[in-house]
């Protein structure tokens, strides 16, 4: 039985990574696909854990070899998802979660329409800015660029299957968990998983 593919996107500062990490601790059977990026690591980030950090030249060589499931320029940096890592995990029956931007999400949905996509909103622009500043990792120029880019990102929220507001973290995590539980009860998943039971019931 093949696994399910989840896409989670949000403007920078909405709390996407924190929610995703909490979901992965709560739910077994989901693997986070670690993206590649051309930007340098932020304080506390580890290569191969948060991202695969590569040079722009290396990234473009991978693009030319067709190694990416999707890639895009995000806030001036290249980011992409390796094709082999996603396809192998899905084939093993493992659910895979992609933490990507709306551009990458659009490409993935085109390739895999059955993917479950979630967009996370902040409760307000003021809270979005506060969260970006509280990280104390980016320059004022970067913060302003992320704030300006958030409008373009949020304008694509309607393209996703689900939209969550991350105002109360525990409630948002519960909502994200419920989406995973519901997707695992879909007809396609259950038909494969429960084939032997259905066959016995029909005998």
**In-domain check, residue 101:** yes
| Residue span of the structural domain in which 28 resides | 5-33+94-202
How far apart, in whole angstroms, are the C-alpha atoms of residue 103 and residue 177?
24
Give domain status of residue 41, yes or no: no
Asked if residue 76 belongs to a domain, the reply is no
Q: Check if the beta carbon of residue 108 is closer than 8 Å to that of residue 100.
A: yes
161 in any annotated domain: yes
Q: Would you state the pLDDT for residue 133?
A: 86
What pLDDT score was predicted for residue 1?
Answer: 67
Rounded Cα–Cα distance for residues 191 and 194 (Å)? 5
CATH for 21: 3.40.50.300
Percentages (nearest 5) of helix, strand, coil residues in the chain: 50, 20, 30
Number of independent structural domains in the chain: 1
Q: Which residue has the higher pLDDT, 42 or 54?
A: 54
Query: Whole-model pTM?
Result: 0.84
pLDDT in tens, 71-90: 888 777 898 888 888 888 89
- Within a domain: 99: yes
The answer to whether residue 157 sits within a structural domain is yes
Beta-carbon contacts of residue 90 (< 8 Å; ≥ 6 apart): 2, 3, 4, 5, 96
Confidence class for position 188, pLDDT limits 50, 70, 90: confident
Chain segment 25-37, per-residue pLDDT in tens? 999 889 998 889 9
Considering the domain boundaries, does residue 53 fall inside one? Answer: no
Q: What is the pLDDT of residue 22?
A: 96
């Amino acid at each position: 039985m093949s696994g399910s593919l989840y896409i989670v996107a949000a403007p920078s500062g909405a709390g996407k990574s924190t929610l995703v990490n909490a979901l992965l601790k709560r739910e077994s059977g989901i693997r986070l696909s670690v993206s590649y990026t051309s930007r340098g690591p932020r304080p506390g980030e580890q290569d191969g854990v948060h991202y695969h950090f590569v040079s722009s030249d290396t990234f473009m060589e991978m693009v030319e070899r067709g190694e990416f499931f999707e890639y895009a320029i995000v806030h001036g940096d290249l980011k992409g998802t390796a094709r082999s890592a996603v396809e192998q995990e899905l084939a093993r029956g493992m659910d895979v979660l992609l933490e990507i931007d709306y551009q990458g999400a659009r490409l993935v949905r085109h390739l895999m329409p059955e993917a479950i996509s979630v967009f996370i909103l902040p409760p307000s622009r003021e809270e979005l800015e506060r969260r970006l500043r509280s990280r104390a990792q980016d320059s004022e120029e970067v913060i302003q660029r992320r704030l300006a880019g958030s409008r373009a990102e949020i304008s694509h929220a309607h393209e996703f299957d689900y939209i969550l507001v991350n105002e109360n973290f525990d409630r948002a995590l519960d909502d994200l968990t419920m989406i995973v539980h519901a997707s695992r009860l879909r007809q396609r998943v259950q038909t494969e998983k429960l084939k032997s039971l259905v066959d016995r019931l029909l005998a």
